[in-house]
Each structure stands twice: as C-alpha cells, then as structure tokens.
C-alpha cells in the first residue's frame, strides 16, 4: 500500500458558541471595561481552522480582541443619548478562500444616577390675597430628571423662607410640588415672601436641583372706614337749589388715607 497524505480543504465556516441574549453594562463603564467574550470554532485544521474576530455595526462604541474574542468598551457611554446597541461579531478563518460566521449581540446600557433634577423655571412668581384661608393653593413647581426608575423620581422641599418664620407660612407637597398656605397672612407685616425650593431625586447618592419662588401678598381692604368726627353739622336754606353742598365729612380708609366726601 502506498500511504496517502490527506490535505484539509477549507470547507467549514466558523460557528459561534451561544451568546447571552441580554448583555447589560452601566453607562459609567470606563473605556477598556469588559463587556463579554465571544467564541467560535472551526472544524477545519491549520490555518483553515484558525479564527480571528472583528465587529460590524458597533459605531466605534465597542472593540474586540481579534485573538481572544474579548469585547470591551471603546468610547464613553451615555444612556440618555442611546440606551441600546445592536451589532455583529464576525469570526473569520485564515483559509483560502476565507470563510466566516456571524453572531448578533444586543448590549443594553443601564442607568446611573448622573443627572440632577431640573425645574421648569429657575424663578416662579405669584400673588396671594392677604385674607386667603389656610390650605389655599398658591402655586406649583415641577422638575424633571433625565435618568430612569428611582433615579428620576423627584421629591420637593422648601429649604428656606425669607423672611423666616416659625412655623413657616407655606408648605409644599413633596410628591406633586404644590405649594399651599400654612399660616395666616398680614400684609401690614410682610408684603413679599421668597422661598428656596429643592427637588431631590431618589438615586443613591441623591442629586438635587433648586428654584426660587417669589410670593407677593395683595392687600385686602378688610378694615371699615373711620370717621374723623362723630358728628358733622350743616345747614340748608329753605329754598336752596338742588346740588348745593351742605356739609363735608372726612374719614380714614384702611390704608390710612384721608378721604373727603360731601353731602348735597
């Protein structure tokens, strides 16, 4: 018998091992951090069975070690910009002609609490009448957070009131941001209040945003006029023409202004 040497023909493409259907990494992952490792085998021998790896469609966000199949982060991630990446891993043998296999990957970027709440306005301005009853709605503030889950849930607090008082004149609903009257007002004592409001998310650690609320108190004429004299005297002629002034009376209004009126 004459021994025969069997030469391999590159007739097998690389085949990937199973890849996890869900791959998650946090948005604060650093460049070079590991994502996952892909692996493919080729039934051929020699160069025909030697596999090298590359990525297609990753937009430069990820890279792969051509020899080991280790996929790493290649650029800064931001979930608020893009929260999911779909791309392909390619395994190519070194035969002539080369054969290749592909596997699809989906990488989900998970949220990190990296955004503070932002109020719809930096300063809110409103008015309230001085005779408003306790519990009256004054105004409402609102803040949004670009994160998700608890990182995006905002609670509201009044952190400062000017001028200060104890107890405080206003209260805020921590969930809705609605500000209401908690104590009686007196225009003669305070004509304007300034509140500093804080929005805190529920992330860990918590991040905050602030806004200012200016509340002006409107005076209400709640004091009856007071006459300067208890008795006023006047006289009229027997055949006096209509419209002739008989007497002038004076009284003080609630805002301490002298008001004149005549009777004719």
Report pLDDT digits (tens) over 190-241. 999 999 999 999 999 999 999 999 999 999 976 666 767 777 666 767 666 6
pTM of structure? 0.75
Nearest-5° Cα angle at 79, 74 to 85: 55
Beta strands per DSSP E along 57-148 = 62-64, 70-73, 84-93, 100-110, 118-119, 123-129, 137-140, 143-144
Q: Do 44 and 73 contact (CB within 8 A), yes or no? A: no
Q: How confident is the model at residue 260, as a pLDDT? A: 47
User: Regarding the domain with residue range 15-110, which homologous superfamily does it belong to in the CATH classification?
Assistant: Cadherins (2.60.40.60)
What are the start and end residues of each CATH 2.60.40.60 domain in the chain? 15-110, 118-218
Q: How confident is the model at residue 55, as a pLDDT? A: 98
For residue 249, name the pLDDT band (cuts at 50, 70, 90): low
Q: Tell me the torsion sign for CA atoms 241, 242, 243, 248.
A: positive
CATH class of segment(s) 118-218: mainly beta
Smallest Cα–Cα separation from 244: which of 263, 224, 220?
A: 263
């Amino acid at each position: 018998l004459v021994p025969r040497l069997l030469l391999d023909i590159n007739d097998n493409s690389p085949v990937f091992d199973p890849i996890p259907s869900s791959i998650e990494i946090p948005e604060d992952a650093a460049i070079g951090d590991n994502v996952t490792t892909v692996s493919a085998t080729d039934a051929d021998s020699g160069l025909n069975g030697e596999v090298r790896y590359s990525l297609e469609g990753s937009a430069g966000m990820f890279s792969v070690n051509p020899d080991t199949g280790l996929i790493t982060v290649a650029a800064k991630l931001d979930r608020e910009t893009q929260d999911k990446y779909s791309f392909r891993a390619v395994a190519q043998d070194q035969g002539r002609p080369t054969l290749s296999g592909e596997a699809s990957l989906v990488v989900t970027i998970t949220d990190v609490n990296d955004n503070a709440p932002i109020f719809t306005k930096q300063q809110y301005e409103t008015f309230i009448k001085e005779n408003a009853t306790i519990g009256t709605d004054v105004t409402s503030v609102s803040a949004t957070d670009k994160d998700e889950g608890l990182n995006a849930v905002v609670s509201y607090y009044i952190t400062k009131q000017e001028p200060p008082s104890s107890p405080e004149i206003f209260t805020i609903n921590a969930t809705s941001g609605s500000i209401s009257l908690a104590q009686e007002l007196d225009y003669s004592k305070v004509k304007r209040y300034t509140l500093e409001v804080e929005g805190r998310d529920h992330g860990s650690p918590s991040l905050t945003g602030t806004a200012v609320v200016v509340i002006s108190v409107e005076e209400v004429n709640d004091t009856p006029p007071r006459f300067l004299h208890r008795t006023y005297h006047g006289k009229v002629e027997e055949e006096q023409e209509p419209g002739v002034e008989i007497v002038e009376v004076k009284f003080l209004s609630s805002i301490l202004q002298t008001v004149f009126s005549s009777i004719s």
